[in-house]
Structure 1
């Protein structure tokens, strides 16, 4: 079995090129939308949803078939057509240029794969079944989607703000870690779930840090 290294890529302001304009290409585009990537779609035909995105300048549509040289300057490439020879040509050019490439339906030829994703603000959970199939990935993703509800978005925003406050006030790495562990076990998440939590002011954050440093 082929194993992939799970990583999260920063695609902001980087060219991500999708060759193909069908449903698979559409899924790849939607997965990139919130990343800040500069999305280019190369295909003579695209889905209605991709057309809307192109009309609103949310992606650059090259309205023609792929040509060698189209991948120049790309950071990531998706070969997502329904034509094997085109996908092979895209993968070949990408590798010649040292660009990571995802090849639709050919796990063994891909430098990376696109997992199932759950997002809750700062929380990102990715699910891959290493080729067992999108149906299985979708089933597992749905189960995790139920387990990690919308309460995680405000919870992680709160934890982020508190971490910044702790870093500002506390110099000791050991003491910082101790405070963050105590905060994580303080029941804030359950308060948010029960809608009993009110966002802390900066003064309340500083007071909690001061009180818990003393203990």
Structure 2
């Protein structure tokens, strides 16, 4: 991070703008919106600056810049078209430890002016660190379209009600939950959008009487690895969580999207190495919920496809804990799509079967005869260790040794690696792979080279959004 994003209070603080043209005018306008006392120094002034001076909104000094003008100033903006003057302003400001911005010259500036989405008191600032101002402006335009105009009123009325909430709900975490619930269902925003302020206040008051101290659990599928494959609901719950219990397959990029002050607890598992046993994970979900905390159980892929989600929910039901389930893109769908392998195809496969190579000790054997029929796609989760058995059993039960096979290692991530060969080569194909690997067996694998679109080395992904395509 090249710059620390901060919001500075300028109300009644003296600020200086050096320059009298249209660029200086834009900066003056922003400073006035923030309540600053603005002085403009220039030899010539834009007509609008003259109008503001005559209206005593700003102070105009018709003179060349001198260092004395920086005395007692909070910040200064150099907005001239003269590089020498701009450099002089920057140098003198640094000497006096006055914040300085030189327009279009971040290397000379101690602060930079971001692109702004103004829904006061909600203000969103977007910065590229001075490297790509047009890109920052495009992002701002997108946010302008997304954020409703009544957002400021929503923030204002909530601010007026804060003292009431604080008096009734003493616990900080429970107060946060009250606001999350109030903002989350959209009813308050809808009332304000319609101008029904009285009803909005009634809703806020009535919500105070509800029980906000109850904990709950959300079973959230995090998808196969690419954070852009998270569902919107998954992201919302991750941002609201007090505690997140996550698996080994959840990528660090996804964990970075969890609310910053949430407790992150690894309960990862891999073959032969369970960091936290399943029974203990089940108990932790119950314990944290009984403490009144919002718990997210974050699992790679989808919780209900070889994710033991059902086992965890059974425990929650027995303990009387409220829960919800948010499906995720399972590894089979995500990895096959990124590898260019359709799981079904009219010419090659009329069905697809998901199995896991990792089963409970003394568990039932797979029905290899059923798994070996032609015209179906077989997807094996966690199958690397059992490669030899899978290869031997499928061929012994009638699957052709020449059946195409794909091993997708760290699928959908920037480290994705796809190895393609034949069923008779399965053991050899997986010999050099480590980490999460999905196995796809069937004739659909033959389409991989033709349909592949994801290039991990450039991290490019297809998009129908012209804005995103142009950014790629």
**Structure-1-length-normalised TM-score:** 0.89
| Counterparts in 2 of 1:208 and 1:4: CA distance versus 1, 3 Å | same
**Structure-2 separation of matches of 1:116 and 1:203:** 36
Q: Deviations over 1:26-85 (max 9, x none)?
A: 111111112111111000111122111111111111111112311111010111111111
User: What's 1:122 paired with?
Assistant: 121
Tell me the SS of whatever aligns to 2:209: helix
Cα distance in structure 1, aligned partners of 2:200 and 2:135: 44
Contact 1:18–1:40 at 8 Å: present in 2 too? yes
Superposition map of 1:119-158 within 5 A: 119-158=118-157
C-alpha deviations, 1:150-200, integer Å up to 9, x for none?
021222223223333201222222322221222122323552486385434
Bigger mean CA deviation after superposition, 194-203 or 74-83? 194-203
1:4 maps to what in 2? 3
- SS of residue paired to 1:139: helix
Structure ranking higher in strand proportion: 2
Query: Does 2:46 align with 1:47?
Result: yes
In 2, Cα distance between the equivalents of 1:203 and 1:88?
56
Q: Within 5 A, what are the aligned runs for 1:27-42?
A: 27-42=26-41
Deviation for aligned residue 1:212: 4.1
Contact kept in structure 1, 2:182 and 2:204, CA below 8 Å: no
RMSD of Structure 2 on Structure 1 (CA): 2.3
Q: Name the residue aligned to 1:183.
A: 182
State the secondary structure of the residue aligned to 2:68: coil
2:101 alignment partner in structure 1: 102
* 8 Å CA contact retained: 1:79, 1:102: yes
Q: How far apart in 2 are the matches of 1:198 and 1:11?
A: 30
CA distance in 1, matches of 2:24, 2:193: 40
Partner of 2:170: 171
Shift of 1:138: 2.3
Pair 133,51 (structure 1): closer, same or farther in 2 beyond 3 Å: farther
Q: Note closer, same or farther for the CA distance 1:102–1:14 as it changes in structure 2 (3 Å cut).
A: same
Question: Residue 20 of structure 1: CA displacement?
Answer: 0.6
Paired with 1:196 and 1:55, the residues of 2 have a C-alpha distance of 38
**Count of residue pairs the alignment pairs up:** 214
- In structure 1, C-alpha distance between the alignment counterparts of 2:123 and 2:22, rounded to whole Å: 23
Query: For the pair shown, which has the larger CA radius of gyration, 1 or 2?
Result: 2
Change (3 A) 1:54 1:181: same
SS of 1:70's partner is helix
Q: What SS is found at the alignment partner of 1:13?
A: coil
Corresponding residue of 1:73? 72
**Is the partner of 2:39 in helix, strand or coil?**
strand
Structure 2: which 5+ residue stretches go unaligned?
215-472
Q: CA deviation at 1:133?
A: 4.1
Structure 1 runs, 4 residues or longer, greater than 6 Å off: none
**Residues 1:213 and 1:140: Cα distance change in structure 2 (over 3 Å):** closer
CA contact (8 A) 1:122 1:157 kept: yes
| Contact 2:183–2:189, Cα closer than 8 Å, also in 1 | no
| Residue matched to 2:303 | none
5-14 or 124-133, which deviates more? 124-133
- The answer to which structure has the higher helix fraction is 1
Which residue number in structure 1 is paired with residue 17 of structure 2? Answer: 18
Q: TM-score, normalised by structure 2?
A: 0.42
Distance 1:213 1:133, change over 3 A: closer
Q: 1:144 to 1:106 in 2, by over 3 A?
A: same
- How many Å separate the matches in 2 of 1:36 and 1:113? 19
